[in-house]
Chain A
């Protein structure tokens, strides 16, 4: 059908135009800028080739942020996705008080991060913070959670898990609701136990959602830094500096736009590689109708 092509493009066009204007065009601008020095005082920026990328290799804060980000992703993604699934199963069942559970699990999506990060800051405050009230009553010595290099990153990871799991739960819940009850009836007729039903029927049917959630979890772990800004500003001694936070500092505190552009390109390359990898790897295991 010839006019299929025409209609297809007409349907895509409005979205494509806006995407081009507000995403692709600025991204191309960013890539272009990454090969230039930073322009100061309105003078045109000279072409420097790969110099910004060479600077990056020697930039200790960049490497520290990158490693922090790797640990942060490895720590937050599996936990938040698993919790999201478990939460969805629970609030989808006939459990007592599930209305309240829904509200509880849903709060992270409602409360703005810039405000909630301040509340978490209180939870972690030494001596009279909520966490300290619990640990000291159990007899542990007081600890400066956010002010110690060894625990600060773990603390901000907990905040991210809290935020993400509640958010991803919604997608799992939507997916669970669309599983036809006939499947459960059929499984019950065959006498399959609950674990088998969940593993052999529910999980495979949730695969497209899992793929979607995973891609989002990876992206979120690289792009949500509001809580870092409020809680630690990357400290102590860059222990909680994540890649985007570093980019934000270079770009909007140091105003080194050329170098910030180069860092952005690297971040985009990492995300693109991860996303494509996930699609290729998982698409084989995802079955659409």
Chain B
């Protein structure tokens, strides 16, 4: 975006102040998690700068479940889901954006239906389907119901619709087939959308809990959130020290990833935006 319409003068100070205040409020849960995770339990409700630091909470959290394996599983899960989503949603979105075929409107509404469905309500039915397919307790079983994502199809269709038809036609004149046009013209232009969608998808599946818990049984297929739930000890009340340590541990990779890549992330928007 151009720097022309930046706030100026006193207004600028005011907006910066407001932004910082809001940012402070928004980061509060994370800040609290960091404070509590690195201090002994006695300081989880007392903010004393002289409190001793400790890694004990992380040690306890790490030992409570086979987290190394869970991390590998979560990684495999989000990679698999994301890759399949990109392929399936791109193809479908391309069709909905640029092709005329009988039943297109109805088909699109049927896709949108999935935006509103809570997979949590369809658990029993979907469990039965997975059982019939013979893939209970596997990583594909966790991801499969989410692979054809209405969210992704809708988002990409919107973007593909904004691609000027002239670009499309120019490529066709050069003899490119529909798939080649998709790959050469549409996909590169939709890069920021893929990034935003990928981010949302990864964080959703990294943090999804109930369905993975129900559909998996063994250490070999369970994601980190299932391990995380060990700490919500119902009978004993909440042990914030260990919950926050486990939270930081499990969302750490996402957080570090975002910190490292947020610049590239936003810049790639820019490059695509200026086109």
Interface string of B86-100 (1 = CB under 8 A from A): 011101101110011
Docked-complex contact B99 and A166, CB < 8 angstroms = no
A258 to B164, CA, bound (A): 50
Check if B125 is an interface residue, CB within 8 A of chain A.
yes
Q: Among residues 88 to 140 in chain B, which have CB atoms less than 8 Å away from a CB atom of chain A?
A: 88-89, 91-92, 94-96, 99-102, 104, 107, 110-126, 129
Check if A53 is an interface residue, CB within 8 A of chain B.
no
Interface string of A192-221 (1 = CB under 8 A from B): 001001100000000010001001100100
Q: Check A87/B22 contact, CB under 8 A, given A12-B95, A185-B4.
A: yes
Check if A45 is an interface residue, CB within 8 A of chain B.
no
Docked-complex contact B23 and A197, CB < 8 angstroms = no
Docked-complex contact B113 and A114, CB < 8 angstroms = no
A184 to B6, CA, bound (A): 11
A130 to B112, CA, bound (A): 41
Docked-complex contact B112 and A119, CB < 8 angstroms = no
Number of residues in A with C-beta < 8 Å to the partner? 105
Tell which of B15, B148, B193, B206 touches A14, judged by Cβ atoms closer than 8 Å. Answer: B148
Nearest CB in chain B to that of A248: its residue: B120
A262 to B260, CA, bound (A): 47
Docked-complex contact A101 and B20, CB < 8 angstroms = yes
Docked-complex contact A179 and B273, CB < 8 angstroms = yes
Selecting from B49-57, B62-70, B251-259, the interface stretch reads: B251-259
A27 to B110, CA, bound (A): 11
Check if B274 is an interface residue, CB within 8 A of chain A.
yes
Docked-complex contact B266 and A102, CB < 8 angstroms = yes
A8 to B3, CA, bound (A): 42
B246: chain A residues within 8 A (beta carbon): 115
Per DSSP, chain B at the interface is helix
Nearest CB in chain B to that of A188: its residue: B4
Check if B238 is an interface residue, CB within 8 A of chain A.
yes
Docked-complex contact A109 and B266, CB < 8 angstroms = no
Chain A proximity of B15: nearest CB distance (Å): 7
A59 to B158, CA, bound (A): 41
Check if A56 is an interface residue, CB within 8 A of chain B.
no
26 residue pairs bridging A and B, Cβ less than 8 Å apart? A7-B95, A7-B99, A15-B88, A15-B111, A16-B111, A17-B148, A22-B119, A30-B122, A94-B3, A107-B255, A111-B30, A111-B247, A129-B45, A162-B26, A174-B192, A174-B196, A177-B269, A181-B1, A212-B158, A226-B209, A230-B232, A244-B121, A247-B121, A264-B121, A288-B158, A288-B161
* Chain B residues within 8 Å of A, Cβ to Cβ: 1-7, 15-16, 19-20, 22-24, 26-30, 32-33, 44-46, 87-89, 91-92, 94-96, 99-102, 104, 107, 110-126, 129, 144-145, 147-148, 150-151, 153-155, 158, 161-162, 164, 178, 192-193, 195-196, 199-200, 203, 206-207, 209, 225, 228-229, 232, 238, 240, 243-244, 246-247, 250-251, 254-255, 258-259, 262-263, 266, 269-270, 272-274
